[in-house]
Structure 1
């Protein structure tokens, strides 16, 4: 408090993330079996949050359960993994928007009570009560698309055409249907984010086509979240490449996605992503070149 005014920084708002002014959402996984990186202890998670914030992240996405197949994680265990991180970040980093990656309303309730401002429901409304929790706490909600998959299952011989626009049509219709359901549940439309969700319920052809047509999602007026960091479709576009070797491909896809209107980029590698955003926005004219002295002196 200074001169009667609270000097604490204002948390980042979803309304600040838009096409032409994208925000970085840093991945912080409390699970012990994540496909790329884990912050398995509370200290490790808080260190990851600090590093991400210093590198340019405005949002941190805290997850307690691996997206893919693995050991069943009870609701109570997921809560125990994520709530202490949310509480600690809310105290130490009030400038960050805290997101939690969960599809279960019990977890959503617990993390919103602890200070989360965004619910990243990557499993496409499997539990419709998550939207009701978001409305009751007046927090944001990510509406994603999985093609009807149950949580933590993999796509197999999806019914979408391999190269046709039907995957784009169905994905767009799916996220808009969830956005409308969220509004009906009472979620503020300004707090709704849509995510085409590459790799979830989709093969590599599908995910590539979604990025190619990303403008259709941008044109809905909802901010578009893109979670593509080190994903399988990136590795398959390069060749037979595992998660550890997908950074360069991820950065290429990120630059394209930003140019096509993505508003939030979910990333493991915040510093590299921030550099990619800076150069892309300078080229598109949506941001300045930050140190322009070459040839001027």
Structure 2
């Protein structure tokens, strides 16, 4: 009898077989292929890398004309296990030419850099990123795309917060400015009138709640943090007001950096990408560096690829199907998919009111792909999906004795 073993069960199976404990880590380095993409490598370096990977037992895919030098640069797809990459890094460390030492450094950083496991607010409140967290949406707006999410008064905001906390929300996200496609922004004074009283009231009622504020304005962010907010959720990736970085840096607050193309008013007017994942990744690399240069703590940056923000239907689906690639950046990932139009289109052009099941399907996928935070309207239903999946995932990682 032959049985193909699920990757996540390999450690459990090695324990069942009775493998020596000291050998398990060695085998785990050999257990799965990790495809990595390198960009714009000079052709001599590409040839060397391919030959070294082949010699180590791995492989590398390069442009067909690299071998005869008819292209100056090529992207490379590497195919190897952790063991192969360790061997490659050792080889490259002895090659101070063609930029190979830089490639070795990049590989080393990729494998050695640890992901953020804890977010701490300026007020000392904490959230742990050891499983997928639920961020509940509270819109203090009259025009958000999903009418059920709109709260017209401070009393309604507090009631919504109480309900979400009881249902298991890990973070509450309060916003006073609709960013639905085609929307016109209200002025800063109006946004402040909506948001700041709501933050004060929720903070007073729920001192331990972890509060995020959905704004791209530095002035609103500063007042929100001063009045008890824990985190800033900026849909513009500081493209609309770069001063927000100074506010976040000074407060030492967690900061959600989102990808957007255009503005909410025009972002869905024929957006186009040659390669949506590469463009988003490049955007994040540049934005993270700018934020860090401005004093933002790199351990407090959360990345949001911006589902529905300057994306076509197919772009949204591709982003979701390739979420694991964004985790290469070693930052917490937030996905805001709740009841959005791509779900409605997939399920037959249905309204936001009918998109719960589609939302839950994406939530399940996000959990299995290791997404850190999901931003949703329906806390109870999404939390239950995650609780069930966490039970299954815990079974994968439990020891043979615990599983019996």
Alignment correspondent of 1:155 = 268
Change over 3 Å in CA distance of 1:151–1:254 after alignment to 2 = same
Unpaired stretches in structure 2, ≥5 consecutive residues: 1-122, 398-403
Q: TM-score, normalised on structure 1?
A: 0.87
Alignment correspondent of 1:220 = 329
The CA distance in 1 between the partners of 2:251 and 2:202, in whole Å, is 18
Question: In 2, are the aligned partners of 1:28 and 1:61 still within 8 Å (CA)?
Answer: yes
Question: In 2, are the aligned partners of 1:112 and 1:137 still within 8 Å (CA)?
Answer: yes
Q: 217, 222, 237: which is aligned to 1:124?
A: 237
Question: In 2, are the aligned partners of 1:11 and 1:94 still within 8 Å (CA)?
Answer: no
- Residues 39-68 of structure 1 show CA distances to partners (whole Å, capped at 9, x for unaligned) of 111100110011001100011100001112
Alignment correspondent of 2:160 = 48
Question: In 2, are the aligned partners of 1:30 and 1:63 still within 8 Å (CA)?
Answer: yes
Runs of 4 or more, structure 1, over 6 Å off, are: none
Alignment correspondent of 2:209 = 96
The CA distance in 1 between the partners of 2:168 and 2:396, in whole Å, is 15
**Correspondence list, 1:167-178, <5 A:** 167-178=276-287
- Residues 19-50 of structure 1 show CA distances to partners (whole Å, capped at 9, x for unaligned) of xx111100000001111120111100110011
The CA distance in 2 between the partners of 1:40 and 1:137, in whole Å, is 29
Alignment correspondent of 1:58 = 170
Question: In 2, are the aligned partners of 1:123 and 1:151 still within 8 Å (CA)?
Answer: no
The CA distance in 2 between the partners of 1:189 and 1:236, in whole Å, is 37
Name the count of aligned residue pairs: 273
Alignment correspondent of 1:267 = 376
**Correspondence list, 1:241-252, <5 A:** 241-252=350-361
Structure 1 residue 287: Cα displacement: 9.1
Alignment correspondent of 2:257 = 143
The CA distance in 2 between the partners of 1:112 and 1:11, in whole Å, is 12
Alignment correspondent of 2:150 = 38
Question: In 1, are the aligned partners of 2:245 and 2:291 still within 8 Å (CA)?
Answer: yes
Range with greater deviation from structure 2 (175-184 or 127-136): 175-184
Structure 1 residue 151: Cα displacement: 4.1
Change over 3 Å in CA distance of 1:214–1:63 after alignment to 2 = same
Alignment correspondent of 1:254 = 363
1:201 aligns with 2:315: no
CA RMSD across the alignment: 2.0
Find the residue that maps to 2:329 and give its secondary structure.
coil
Larger C-alpha radius of gyration, 1 or 2? 2
The CA distance in 2 between the partners of 1:181 and 1:152, in whole Å, is 26
1:192 aligns with 2:192: no
Question: In 2, are the aligned partners of 1:234 and 1:246 still within 8 Å (CA)?
Answer: yes
Q: 71, 74, 77: which is aligned to 2:187?
A: 74
The CA distance in 2 between the partners of 1:109 and 1:183, in whole Å, is 18
Structure 1 residue 17: Cα displacement: 2.0
Find the residue that maps to 1:143 and give its secondary structure.
strand
Question: In 2, are the aligned partners of 1:31 and 1:64 still within 8 Å (CA)?
Answer: yes
Change over 3 Å in CA distance of 1:188–1:96 after alignment to 2 = same
Alignment correspondent of 1:291 = none
Find the residue that maps to 2:280 and give its secondary structure.
helix
Unpaired stretches in structure 1, ≥5 consecutive residues: 1-9, 289-295
